[in-house]
Every structure is written in structure tokens, then in C-alpha cells.
A and B are shown apart, each in its own frame.
Chain A
């Protein structure tokens, strides 16, 4: 069941979070429509809607300004970005009027090429959009009672197919095209890629959150840091450990002498013992890695040589039934013994490994 998490705007401090749970899966627009009164409460001029699995440098202010500029006719503004021809098929594709940025045609995950401009899953809606969703809702209701009980709820509405696509070409839907970094986070493999970009955003917007390179007498500061690296203030990093680039270290993590961590995320309370190496991996909470151990995954970053290439989300297994090499992921409370190697593997929580593993899922 989908949980709609809607953020109601306001001054940063006074943000109110409302957790609204659908009584049953209602699709991407059904939930919005069901909770329309809570959303409209306080008469906002507009509201943002975002898919929960997108990571980006969100230009929400500009998106909202753009929406306002389009006047009272504008019901929806979709943030969009360029993709490769081939990858565009996995997304919602938009065709626009170059002069007005109005969306003239919209297809969700087309089977043949439509456009390289794709829906980022980030929107501004005017409250009047509920009328359009209401129409879709009424159509659904009629169909539901005419055809009897279908497999889905009467209130199940897909935003992209049942609201946005019909609005395309009506002059009420616009797109704000961005070149900022944007990615879906559909698999654990995307997490390391997304982490790199978030650390990069920290560097430009909140450099104080990142680890500085120059020493200041503090053991943590004096450790060898190759930017960008985030270390939680409660973590203990031995001065001889070398971290980075693209490393995030969680709360109360302990990193021992001579440890090397690169392109990885280490979650809370994990312990990495002396001389071990962690590459392209996610270490779960409370996990423990012994001495001289190598935990390594295979990166699955977007092709850097293709402009606008997005993260591929390959299936877990290839056609031969073999595990596709990906990053190594340890669940929580996993223990990896000393002097072993864990390569391209996924380890479920609470496993105590006793030997090396390669290309395996350890259940």
C-alpha cells in the first residue's frame, strides 16, 4: 500500500509533516484525490508533488516561479530533464511547444521512441487540478459500476496516464526543463551513485557538513580524506584510515587503523577493523568487518560517455540465471570474518559469514 507523504510548505523550522496512509492502494493520483481536503487546507496557491524514489538537486523555488508565470490557466508544471533515446522508454515522455513550454503530448513508458524529454516525477499543482482529477475519478466510478467489481479499487487513479496525458495539448500543463542532476533510486545499486551526487551538492551548498581535508589536531580531521566524504560527528575514524572519494560514514561507526573506504556507504554502528578495504559497497547498520578483509562491489553508474545517460536498473539476474555484478550490500548485523573477500554479493541481515563469497546472495 502506498503511503502518501505530503510536505506542507512554510518556514523551515515550522515545517509540519503529515503522514497520510491510503486505506488501500489508490495509484499515484487516487491518493492525492482522496486526501484533497487535507492538501487544500489553508488555501495554498499551489503544492508540490514528488515521487518518493527520486533524488535530485531540487530547484523547487524556480519550479514554483515558473508555474506562477504561466498564469491561472496552468494546472500542472512537470519538472523534466533530457534522457538518452534508448533510456527515455523507461520514463514518461513529454513533447512540448518550444515557445510556451506547454506539454502538447505525454506518454508514460512508451514502447517506441517519442521524445528524449522525460518526466522527473516532480510537479507543482494548482489546487484547481483536483477538478481534472475529479473528472478522471468520475469516469472511473462510472466504469466501475458499469463493469462490476474490477481488480482495482474504484478510486484507483494513475496520475500519469489518467490525469497528465489527457491534460496534454489543452494548454493547462507545462514543463520546466532542468539540467540539474537528477536520478531515480530504484535499486540499492543506485544509492552509491546518488550518494556521490548528494555529497557534491553538500560541497557547493553545505560544505560544513563534509569532512575537511586539512588537519586540525583532531584525530578525525587528521585522517586521510579524499573528498567528498561525510562523517557523522559521533563516528570514530583512526588517523591512519584513508577515506574517499564518495564515502558516507554513519552514526557511531568505528573505522580501524589502516582501513581504506572508497565509493561506499557505512551505516550506523558498523565496525570496520584494521587494514580492511571497502569498495563500492553499502555496509548495513551494526555490521562488523574483520581485519584484512576486502568487501567489494561492481559500480553500476550511468555511462559517463553518453550525455544525459541515467542509471540503468538491470535485473538482479542475467539470462543465464547468474547474479548480475553489482555493488556489495550487507544487511544489518552482518559479520564478515577477517582475511576474507566478499565480492559482488548481497548479504541478508543477521548473517554471520564464515568464509569468502563471490557473486552470491547470502540468504
Chain B
């Protein structure tokens, strides 16, 4: 045990060093001593189209970093050395990019391919050989979740109560839209209630878990829902505990929530690492700008804007509550609100984009165009205004 503790302290130090030096290439640690995590990547990410038509969803940058890397980096900080990605399709681009990131982080990434959709529990059975190599508990994550990822605290809590599993729960305003988790004052889960009509609890399953390998005995290799078919049984046996999440939580799997999640993430950055936020001239509120992006004069950027690497924002542009992805150009006098602008787009002068407009990769919007709630497929050139929400093919 002492050895593990020392090792994880050492790991943290190395990772701190890694954060500072960025590209430092380190291969460290014997994998046996680290923890493992399984991320349920799943399908193609159709809800995040048209972005996912050019890039697998886990690689779509959320706050200038692929969604999956937010999770992997947090896992690494908590001592995870082996990440299993449960995917239902082969994405060579993703495998290659993530393998590179894994090398940088000094961890190993394993792709576990489902030949048929296995739900949220089946992939665990599929990867059971890897998981069972160690008796250590392992993390399970839904891939679209963004929060402050308190994996270290979660693991500590799990070890203290000593039961088979812990699920992370988060507080929501309107629990009737979700399945809620009912648990006692110690955190022991009693039951789950799907879309309760009367208020029972405002805590919902946050899609993050830590489980002992013994849980695999409860899962068969067939399409299974971990929430509906595995957890209720564990709760019945008194083997499931709830861990209350601090701070924000968002499922960023669709454009509207992606933007809401971005606002929450930037707000959290303001509190935790304000120096990472941009405060150049014309900034309003929380804005994240990659150092390689260029912003012209007389702009009003923010609140709640993320600007990616190589982006050029010309003079006199107003951007609010948007994510602008890599190498896009926003020309002068344009006004954008509630948009996700894909990679390598060109938005013309005096353009107005609003109403959860999403531009796919390499979209050109001509001067003086208005788009309201348009989902524009990659490589399109828009020469006529789209005043009502629609998909532009």
C-alpha cells in the first residue's frame, strides 16, 4: 500500500511537470499499479451533427480541448494509467489522435469495439478480461459529460464505504425530466425512480461511476443498460453508494447543451484558474482564446465565448455565447450569438448568426447573410439567408 501511495504521489508530480512543460514525452509507471477507466464512447454522435460528420464526437473540441481529453486528463490526475474506450464503430482518426495523446500523457489507451450495440453495461462485459487483470476498482464514464471530475475524491469515498459501486449524482432543477436517485443520509442508494411526477429527490445519475471488478459478475455480454438492469440490483443488495458532485455538470452531447456546458465550464475556470481566461480589449465576461488566435480592434467578445487555435476575428465583430473552432475566419462587423462554428469556416462581413446555429467544417457564409438556427453541413457555401431553423444540406 505504501508503495502505491508513493507511486501515485510520484505520478502526480510527473503530471504537474507535464502540465508545465506540455510536450514532454515520458513513458513511466508499471501499468499494474495504476487504475483503469472505461469510457462509453458509443455511436457516431448524431446529436452533435454536423460537427460529427467531420470528426468523431470525442474529438470535437470543448473549450479548446477534445471532449474526451477533458475526461482522460482528469482520470490521469487521479492515477489512471489505462483507459478503455468502448466504441461501436471504427474511427481510425480517433484511434490515431488519441494514441498520440496517450503517449504524451504516459498512459495506454485500448479500443474495445462492439460489433453490435451493447448498451451501457454490455461494453463492460466485453472488456472484462482487461478490467479483471486487477482487483482495483475502475472508473466508468459516459463520454458526453463535462464537470470538474473529482475522480480522486470519488475513489477515496468508494474505498471508505467499501461496497461494490459508487455512482456520482448531481443536483438538477427539474428532476421530473430525469431518473432520480434516492439514497439515505450515509449515501447508500435505495432505489431509482424514472421521471418522478411527485418530488422525491433532485439528484440524478451524473453518468460517472467507480465499480469493483466484482460488478462484472452481474453483467452478461449482451445489450444491457447499466442504469436500468445493473444498478437497481446493486441497490437492492445495499452495494451501491451515491457521491454528490460539487460544481457544475452537463451532458454536452447536443449543440444547445454544448453551449450551456461551455458557459458553466468557463465560469468554473473563472473561479479555479482565472489566469487561463482572456482579458484583451473588448472582452466581456468569461472568454477563452487560444494564444494563436487573432482578434481585431473594436470587437466585443463575450460573455461566454471560446475561440480556437488559428482563428481570425476581424475588426468590429461581436461574439456572444459561441464556440469558434480551429482556423476559422470571422470577418468584420459580423454578429454571432449561440453558435458553434466548425473548423476552417469563413463567416463573411455583416453576417448575423444566432439561434443555435451550427456550421460544419469548411462552411463559407457569404457577406450580409442571416442564419437563425441553421445546421449547415460541411463544405457548404451559404449565399442566401436562412431566417428559420433548418438543416442546410
The verdict on A34 contacting chain B, using a C-beta distance below 8 Å, is no
* Assembled-state Cα–Cα distance A341/B387 (Å): 11
Report yes or no: A274 in contact with B316, Cβ–Cβ below 8 A: yes
Contacts of B368 in A (CB 8 A): 260, 262, 277, 279
The residue from A257, A260, A343, A358 contacting B350, defined by CB atoms under 8 A apart: A260
The verdict on B82 contacting chain A, using a C-beta distance below 8 Å, is no
Report yes or no: A339 in contact with B318, Cβ–Cβ below 8 A: yes
* Assembled-state Cα–Cα distance A343/B318 (Å): 20
Report yes or no: A275 in contact with B387, Cβ–Cβ below 8 A: no
8 A-B pairs (CB sep. < 8 Å) = A258-B316, A275-B333, A279-B368, A292-B335, A294-B335, A296-B370, A341-B370, A343-B387
* Assembled-state Cα–Cα distance A296/B352 (Å): 11
Contacts of B387 in A (CB 8 A): 343, 358
Contacts of B350 in A (CB 8 A): 260, 275, 277, 294
The residue from B332, B337, B352 contacting A258, defined by CB atoms under 8 A apart: B332
* Assembled-state Cα–Cα distance A343/B354 (Å): 14
How many residues of chain B get a CB closer than 8 Å to chain A's CBs?
A: 17
Find residues 340-393 in chain B having any chain A CB closer than 8 Å to their own CB.
349-350, 352, 354, 368, 370, 385, 387
Q: Would you give the shortest CB distance from A326 to chain B, in whole angstroms?
A: 14
The residue from B335, B370, B385 contacting A275, defined by CB atoms under 8 A apart: B335
Q: Would you give the shortest CB distance from B170 to chain A, in whole angstroms?
A: 33
* Assembled-state Cα–Cα distance A277/B316 (Å): 13
Q: Would you give the shortest CB distance from B330 to chain A, in whole angstroms?
A: 13
The SS class assigned to the A binding surface is strand
What residues of chain B have their CB less than 8 Å away from a CB belonging to chain A?
298, 300, 315-316, 318, 332-333, 335, 337, 349-350, 352, 354, 368, 370, 385, 387
Known: A339-B335, A343-B387, A358-B387. A294 touches B318 (CB 8 A): no
What residues of chain A have their CB less than 8 Å away from a CB belonging to chain B?
257-258, 260, 262, 274-275, 277, 279, 291-292, 294, 296, 339, 341, 343, 358
Report yes or no: B352 in contact with A275, Cβ–Cβ below 8 A: no
Contacts of A260 in B (CB 8 A): 333, 349-350, 368
Report yes or no: B352 in contact with A294, Cβ–Cβ below 8 A: yes
For the complex of A and B, list the 3 residue pairs with the smallest distance between their C-beta atoms, beginning with the closest. A275-B333, A292-B335, A277-B350
Contacts of A341 in B (CB 8 A): 352, 354, 370
Contacts of A257 in B (CB 8 A): 298, 316
* Assembled-state Cα–Cα distance A274/B299 (Å): 11
B385 nearest in chain A by CB position: A296
Contacts of B300 in A (CB 8 A): 292
* Assembled-state Cα–Cα distance A291/B315 (Å): 14
The residue from A275, A279, A294, A358 contacting B316, defined by CB atoms under 8 A apart: A275
Contacts of A275 in B (CB 8 A): 316, 318, 332-333, 335, 350
A294 nearest in chain B by CB position: B352
A296 nearest in chain B by CB position: B370
Report yes or no: A292 in contact with B318, Cβ–Cβ below 8 A: yes
* Assembled-state Cα–Cα distance A275/B352 (Å): 11
Supply 11 further A-B pairs (C-beta < 8 A) apart from A258-B332, A260-B349: A257-B316, A258-B315, A258-B316, A275-B318, A277-B352, A277-B368, A294-B352, A296-B370, A339-B335, A341-B370, A358-B387
Contacts of B385 in A (CB 8 A): 296
* Assembled-state Cα–Cα distance A100/B333 (Å): 60
Q: Would you give the shortest CB distance from A355 to chain B, in whole angstroms?
A: 13
* Assembled-state Cα–Cα distance A251/B335 (Å): 29
Q: Would you give the shortest CB distance from B357 to chain A, in whole angstroms?
A: 13
* Assembled-state Cα–Cα distance A274/B318 (Å): 11
Contacts of B354 in A (CB 8 A): 341
Q: Would you give the shortest CB distance from A18 to chain B, in whole angstroms?
A: 47
* Assembled-state Cα–Cα distance A327/B41 (Å): 50
Contacts of A343 in B (CB 8 A): 370, 387
Report yes or no: A258 in contact with B333, Cβ–Cβ below 8 A: yes
